[in-house]
A and B are shown apart, each in its own frame.
Chain A
Amino acid sequence: MADNCDKYNMIIDKYIEGRVSYEEKKLLEEHIKTCDKCQKEVSQLAFIINTCNSLKSLEVPSSFMPCLHNKLLQVRSDIDSNSSSFLGDFLKDIKTLLLEYFYNSKKILAIALSVFIISTFLIKFIDIEMFEQKPIYKEQINTESNELKSLNKEMVDDNKELPLEFEAKNHIEEENLVKTNLSFKIIKMLIIPVVFTITAVILWISKNKG
């Protein structure tokens, strides 16, 4: 009998919920006429489901939405503060700390200046190769300009009409070459001390921030 009853299990659920087909309904109703066990099961499950359906919904407490709103605002501000990039935060920190130090302490300025001066002098002594290039370069320029001058002289000798424009052009080119060379050297000389200074300042700020 129990084996027989098992096949009605799913039909009983559907029957109570009113989702049963006409054939299933007839089949179950015929069965429960003769089976006390299933008849009890149907009535007891129906009682449980009806009681569950009748359970009243609770009203949400009035403080719910205002409380949630405040929490959402907090979450929003947390998200905003976290969304700014690491680099952005770091630069912001440096800016704040630099301003703070510039206004409240002259230590950082002294350190930055000292590092800059020391590293500039050190570079002068260490980077000999860079200074050795200077005479070579000047000689090259002199040779070049001498060649140009001799060429000019030949031209003057050949043709008595001196091309003044050509001579002036040569002078400008010569000056430009020296200027480019000098600015390149200055930049090269300054890069390392500037990098040293920035590193020293960052280390000082990180140390003090920590």
Chain B
Amino acid sequence: MGIEKNLVHRAKKGDILAFEELISGYEKKVYNTVYRFFNNKEDAMDITQEIFIKIYVSMKNFKESSSFSTWLYRIAVNTCIDFFRKQKEIVVPINDEISDSMVTKIGIPQRSPEEIAESNEVINIIEDAINSLPEEQRICIILRDIQGFSYLEISDILNCSLGTVKSRISRGRRILRKILIDKELFTVKGV
């Protein structure tokens, strides 16, 4: 803990080597979170770099009241959402109450049952389904079900209540289920 504090102080003064040492170990998790959010390796590389540059520039604003990792993931998530909003051509209102017709519309492309028999294909379908979730539910599902953060950690990162996090995750999972039912994934897998 003392080592991290020392690195934080040096990084706040602009020490690049200290900063690189400080973030080593986080880059993989951040890169994967970004990759799952955008489902694109090139975007993931560029946005992750952007995130770490943002963190380096904002180091002086890090108050040390929260843990460095929470603060780092908060910047990562906010940057992802900012990029996503910029990328979005059509602005869809963010609403927890997503309609069934919308789920069908934003769902994955049609595939035949034979095609989805392969396990890789199942993963692709689930990745696409996650990618079609509204951003707030998507980030919660990524942090919880893929990256394995606790509910409390997610509420700290997203700076929202535990209840909101639980509700977003629960709702997100049910939207995923609806998409996968529509794509007949469970019929093929016999679930």
A85-119: CB near B (< 8 Å → 1, else 0) gives 00000000000000000000000000000000000
Chain A residue nearest to B19 (CB atoms) is A72
B166–A47 contact, CB under 8 A?
no
Please report which residues of chain B, range 70-112, place their CB below 8 angstroms from some CB of chain A when the two chains form the complex: none
Say if the beta carbon of B10 comes within 8 Å of chain A.
Answer: no
Say if the beta carbon of A172 comes within 8 Å of chain B.
Answer: no
**B127 cross-chain contacts in A, Cβ below 8 A:** 55
How many chain B residues touch the partner (CB < 8 A)? 41
For the complex, give the distance between the alpha carbons of A58 and B28 in Å. 8
B130-169: CB near A (< 8 Å → 1, else 0) gives 1000000000010001101000000000000000001001
Say if the beta carbon of B177 comes within 8 Å of chain A.
Answer: yes
**A79 cross-chain contacts in B, Cβ below 8 A:** 14, 57
Say if the beta carbon of A43 comes within 8 Å of chain B.
Answer: yes
For the complex, give the distance between the alpha carbons of A73 and B56 in Å. 11
For the complex, give the distance between the alpha carbons of A53 and B171 in Å. 18
Chain A residue nearest to B176 (CB atoms) is A48
Say if the beta carbon of B27 comes within 8 Å of chain A.
Answer: yes
A10–B170 contact, CB under 8 A?
yes
B52–A44 contact, CB under 8 A?
no
**B146 cross-chain contacts in A, Cβ below 8 A:** 52-53, 55
**A51 cross-chain contacts in B, Cβ below 8 A:** 122-123, 126
**B57 cross-chain contacts in A, Cβ below 8 A:** 75, 79
Say if the beta carbon of A7 comes within 8 Å of chain B.
Answer: no
B27–A64 contact, CB under 8 A?
yes
Say if the beta carbon of B189 comes within 8 Å of chain A.
Answer: yes
Q: What's the minimum C-beta distance from B28 to chain A, rounded to whole angstroms?
A: 5
Please report which residues of chain A, range 5-62, place their CB below 8 angstroms from some CB of chain B when the two chains form the complex: 9-10, 13, 41, 43-45, 47-49, 51-53, 55, 57-61
Of B45, B122, B166, most buried by chain A (CB within 10 Å of CB) is B45
A68–B49 contact, CB under 8 A?
yes
Q: How large is the interface on A (under 10, 10 to 19, 20 to 34, 35 or more residues)?
A: 20 to 34
Q: A9-B170, A53-B145, A65-B27 are in contact. Are A47 and B16 (CB under 8 A)?
A: no
B56–A48 contact, CB under 8 A?
no
Chain B residue nearest to A46 (CB atoms) is B191
For the complex, give the distance between the alpha carbons of A10 and B163 in Å. 11
**Looking at the complex, which one of A45, A52, A55 makes contact with B177 (CB distance below 8 Å)?**
A45
Interface of A is mostly: helix
B32–A43 contact, CB under 8 A?
no
Chain A residue nearest to B35 (CB atoms) is A58
Q: A44-B191, A47-B189, A60-B31 are in contact. Are A52 and B141 (CB under 8 A)?
A: yes
Say if the beta carbon of B9 comes within 8 Å of chain A.
Answer: no
**B48 cross-chain contacts in A, Cβ below 8 A:** 60, 64
For the complex, give the distance between the alpha carbons of A68 and B26 in Å. 14
B21-34: CB near A (< 8 Å → 1, else 0) gives 00000011101100
For the complex, give the distance between the alpha carbons of A45 and B27 in Å. 30
Q: What's the minimum C-beta distance from A144 to chain B, rounded to whole angstroms?
A: 65
**A65 cross-chain contacts in B, Cβ below 8 A:** 20, 27
B126–A64 contact, CB under 8 A?
no
**A71 cross-chain contacts in B, Cβ below 8 A:** 49, 53
Q: What's the minimum C-beta distance from B23 to chain A, rounded to whole angstroms?
A: 9
Q: A57-B32, A58-B41, A60-B28 are in contact. Are A49 and B173 (CB under 8 A)?
A: yes
Chain B residue nearest to A52 (CB atoms) is B145
Q: What's the minimum C-beta distance from B157 to chain A, rounded to whole angstroms?
A: 18
Q: A10-B170, A13-B169, A13-B173 are in contact. Are A76 and B45 (CB under 8 A)?
A: no
13 contacts between A and B (CB under 8 A): A45-B174, A48-B145, A48-B176, A51-B123, A52-B141, A52-B145, A53-B145, A53-B148, A55-B36, A55-B126, A57-B32, A72-B52, A75-B57
